[in-house]
Structure 1
Amino acid sequence: MSTTSGAAGAAYDVAIVGTGGIAAIHARDLAELGERARIVTAVDTDAGRLDDFSRRWSVPRTYAALESMLEFERPDVVVLCTPPGLHTGQALTCLEHGVTVLCEKPPALSLAEMDTIIGAERADAGDGRFATVFQHRFGSGAESLRRLVGDPRLGPPMTAVCHTLWYRPDDYFAAPWRGVWGVEGGGPTMGHGIHQMDLLLSVLGPWRDVSAVAARRARPTDTEDFSAALVTFDSGVVATVVNSLLSPRETSYLRFDFAHATVELEHLYGYDDASWRVSAAPEHEDTVAAAWAEGPKGRGSGHAAQYTALFDALDAGAPPPVTTADARDTMELVAAIYASSFTGQTVRRGDLGPGSPFYDRMNGDGAPWAAAKETEVPA
């Protein structure tokens, strides 16, 4: 660990594993934090890509393998920017070395893998912890909204909308790990809408049951390219959740209807304060406006916001957000959407334990369209 201190706390040594496009976003946002953090090493099996990344971001040491890096380095945080199918094995390696992990979404391919990570974190006798990149939790708008849940000025939550309507053309899936259950874990439900669903859960709390449909309508994938779900929460709130890669006008849209106000968030890949809109019932305009004005302002939802929260937690000796329990809740909702879609049954929280095929794989015994393809008779 670095012994120097930045203006807002200790300075942290960071290792980046996987140096593709998302790694550049992490590096850029870490650079925004100044002396709070520094990338001391990077890992990639692609030597050319690794060299380009290290030159661009002035990374002093590079390695071709995670195990080799951990043999010679002791970073404070290892950031996993690799394809999803590698996350669990790499996370376990880091935790065995007592190193804290920040992992890109999805954190694992299944609930079974997620529970393996949780078990390794609990068994770790050192300081290693596991956190997932769900940066939308950390913008000031999301913090303001969470503070107001239960506030009588907004009233109780009634219903919600959570739509991730994105567009990915066929050539997006040229990468061999995209659109494949065993490597990516799922389609837009798992790999894209998971961000908005995680934010939804962070606001509304525990969900109770899910009824859903999923389909592969157009894209050359094994996974779905569309899903829609009705999610009922313990509070009685019902949310509509739609995830799509078929939507030319892209948007990420969340709406929370409270008894006295509607709070909306519309953005694409990240939001700022201007992305939020609050509409009050006429008789509650003054009190709702005052309630929203009390919340924090000026912090967007980028990776820098989550890194700041991560380093603040490490300063305090606290578990870094988002914890394994938080991530598992979101992963269980994803698994339930798939299970309901493929079985035609309502799935309750807690149904998908060991023994369920959807515990071991997001597609369970196989997507319905896969079975249909297998039974087709060649002309």
Structure 2
Amino acid sequence: MPAPPTAPRLRAAVVGTGAIAIGGHLPALAAHADEVELVAAVDVDAERLDAFRAEAGEGVAGYAELDEMLERERPDLVLIGTPPAFHREQVVTALRAGAWVLCEKPLCLSLAEYDAIAAAEGTDGGPYAAVVFQHRHGSGAVHARELLTSGALGRPLVAHCQTTWYRDTAYYSVPWRGRWATEGGGPTMGHGIHQTDLLLHLLGDWTEVRAMAGRLVHDVESEDVSTALVRFEGGALATVVNSVLSPQETSRIRIDCTDATVELTHLYGHTNDDWVYTPAPHVADTADAAERVRAWRTPAADLPSSHTAQLAGLLAALREGVRPPGSGHDARRTLEFTAALYKAAFTGLPVRAGEIGPGDPYYDAMHGDHPDWAPHTSVEESR
């Protein structure tokens, strides 16, 4: 009996060939080489493009213009790793050419831009645009979400989400960093958004945010630290801390439920071993406590959080013509939370889910054109 026909490999292109393309997208594409083929790369920097193509191997065409690449190569999937200010235009251009998109965070700089991207998506079967939120795709995160949503850990009560990293002055010497118009914000938008997304993925919809933000060290337009208090639809309360001022770097989520505490501590990616489950005393004292804890701690496999893990889900969705993980409501919810945190910090008022829409200044820009946080003319003039 003849073997069933093999589906043709999907055609992929990378836009922006810097470090994230080499360190994130290339390994992911290589891991799924039986399903997808990298056929093209786009970058305005010819030297950087050549270096990427040398790393990628033979058969990858190089282009300086996205439109030309889309017309000639007709890719099924476009992976975008350019600076954030280019994302909206590039994502919309790729979608209108019929390509699905996987774009680095932030997908765009505002809720208004997000809604413009959503309007360019297909209405039935794609193409769709997903944002790189790889931490929700590791097996440890998948397992934790199943436990939380099934009630196996009891009712979530208290949570803590922490992205305390360190970035020096040299980091902000890159012209587009630290500016509202080109990065969209500071660590709230550009760093902590990964952990924020994972927190929302685990706990679901939020209802209210109160926040503070500060520019304590770096001479930039945006904040370099923010803190928030969050209420979730299910009743849980959480704290969120984002910083680029913290010499002892860590990324952490802790959720205290009625029957157990689940903790994740890592930096830029997690494995199953980074997740710790601690039973509540009334559970630890029961006869089946050891069996319950083993079930909490034992996912079926150990798949680290990574671009590779997320790409697997996107490719499956593309084949089936369904909305991929990290898009639609989930991606917008995370961006809306970020906008709400900024609005709460800069106005001193609580912000509720669904409050920020057309006509609200925080719909069009994360800083809402707030006078205390108005952009400087230039970094040099601000010194």
Q: Secondary structure at the match of 1:149?
A: helix
Task: Determine if the alignment matches structure 1 residue 134 to structure 2 residue 138.
Answer: no
Shift, 1:35, TM fit: 2.2
1:96 corresponds to: 96
Distance in 2 (alpha carbons) for counterparts of 1:151 and 1:138: 18
Aligned to 1:324: 328
Per-residue deviation, residues 275-295 of structure 1 (Å, max 9, x unmatched): 111111133242541431463
Cα pair distance change 1:367/1:315, threshold 3 Å: same
Q: Tell me the residue number matched to 1:14.
A: 12
Is the CA contact 1:104–1:132 (under 8 Å) kept in the aligned structure 2? yes
1:310 Cα deviation (Å)?
A: 1.0
Per the alignment, residue 370 of structure 2 pairs with 366
Determine the structure 2 residue equivalent to 1:75: 75
Matches within 5 A, 1:30-109: 30-58=29-57, 59-109=59-109
Per-residue deviation at 1:366? 2.8
Distance 2:16 2:242 in 1: 27
Give the corresponding residue for 1:295: 299
Secondary structure of the residue aligned to 1:105 is coil
* Pair 1:305 & 2:309 matched: yes
Secondary structure of 1:35's counterpart equals coil
Q: Where do 1:142-291 residues align within 5 Å?
A: 142-285=141-284, 286=289, 288-291=292-295
Amino acid at match of 1:192: H
Q: 2:221, 2:376 within 8 Å by CA — same for their partners in 1?
A: no
RMSD: 2.0
Runs of 5+ consecutive residues of structure 2 not aligned to the other structure: none
Checking the alignment, whether the CA contact within 8 Å between 2:227 and 2:239 is kept in structure 1 is yes
Looking at structure 1, the residues matched to 158 and 375 of structure 2 have their Cα atoms a distance apart, in angstroms, of 36
* CA distance in structure 2 between the partners assigned to 1:147 and 1:367 by the alignment: 44
Provide the C-alpha distance between the structure 1 equivalents of 2:245 and 2:192, rounded to a whole number of angstroms. 13
Distance 1:10 1:184 in 2: 38
Give the Å deviation of 1:126. 7.7
C-alpha deviation, 1:206, in angstroms:
0.4
Query: Quick one: which amino acid aligns to residue 261 of structure 1?
Result: A
1:342 equivalent in alignment to 2:340: no
Residue identity opposite 1:292 in structure 2: W
Q: In the aligned structure 2, how far is the partner of 1:122 from the partner of 1:152?
A: 35
TM-score after normalising by structure 2:
0.92
What letter is aligned with 2:342?
Y
Q: Which moved more, 1:41-50 or 1:19-28?
A: 19-28
Partner SS state of residue 121, structure 2: helix
CA offsets per residue over residues 284-317 of structure 1, 9 Å max, x none?
2425414314633311101100011111222223
User: Scaled by the length of structure 1, what TM-score is found?
Assistant: 0.92
Post-superposition offset of 1:324: 2.4
Q: Deviations over 1:234-265 (max 9, x none)?
A: 11101100000000010000001110100000
Quote how far apart the aligned CAs of 1:224 are: 0.4
Distance in 1 separating the partners of 2:164 and 2:260:
24
Sort the Cα spacing of 1:341 and 1:358 in 2 relative to 1 into closer, same or farther, 3 A.
same
- Percent of residue pairs identical: 48
Amino acid in the other structure paired with 1:22: I
Q: What is the total number of aligned residue pairs between the two structures?
A: 368
Quote how far apart the aligned CAs of 1:369 are: 4.7
CA distance in 2 between counterparts of 1:214 and 1:77 reads 37
Offset of residue 372 of structure 1: 11
Contact 1:187 1:224 in 2 (8 A): yes
Distance 2:365 2:374 in 1: 15
Contact residue 153 and residue 291 of structure 1 kept, 8 A: no
Contact 1:261/1:288 (<8 A) preserved? no
SS in structure 1 opposite 2:95?
helix
Q: Determine if contact 1:153/1:288 at 8 Å carries over to the other structure.
A: no
> What's the CA shift for 1:31?
1.5
CA distance in 1, matches of 2:149, 2:27: 37
Q: Distance in 2 between matches of 1:328 and 1:146?
A: 19
